[in-house]
Amino acid sequence: MELSGLTRLSSNLVNVPRVAETPVNLECRYLKSIRVPSWEEKDRYFIVLGEVIGIHIRDECLTEDGLVNIAKKKPHWKNGI
């Protein structure tokens, strides 16, 4: 993380660091990897499945009702939140 300039945070449930600068962090338990077919044998793609076992959301991303409003942080992308 030193090369990226990002700040490392300890996770609570897994032995992998979180990134302090992100508005939402998900701690996941690995389930399995599924290989996705490709046209070229040299290209190898996988879908990695995991179970979310911990969620960390910055207060500024929550509405007054406690719902997530990730648009407040203007993400580059979002997936499943």
| Number of other residues whose CB lies within 10 A of the CB of residue 53 | 13
Each domain of the chain, given as residue ranges in start order, spans 22-73
pLDDT digits (tens, 9 = 90+) for 28-65: 999 999 999 988 888 889 999 999 999 999 998 899 99
Q: Tokens standing for 56?
A: 């960390």
Q: What is the pTM of this model?
A: 0.73
pLDDT digits (tens, 9 = 90+) for 16-31: 999 999 888 999 999 9
Q: Which residue has the higher pLDDT, 68 or 50?
A: 50
Q: What is the predicted pLDDT for the residue at 81?
A: 47
Nearest to 62 by CA among 81, 36, 39, 44: 81
**18 class by beta-carbon count within 10 Å (0-12 exposed, 13-18 middle, 19+ buried):** buried
Do 24 and 81 form a contact (C-beta atoms < 8 A)? yes
Integer Cα distance of 25 and 10 in angstroms? 11
Q: Looking at residues 3-15, what average pLDDT do you find?
A: 94
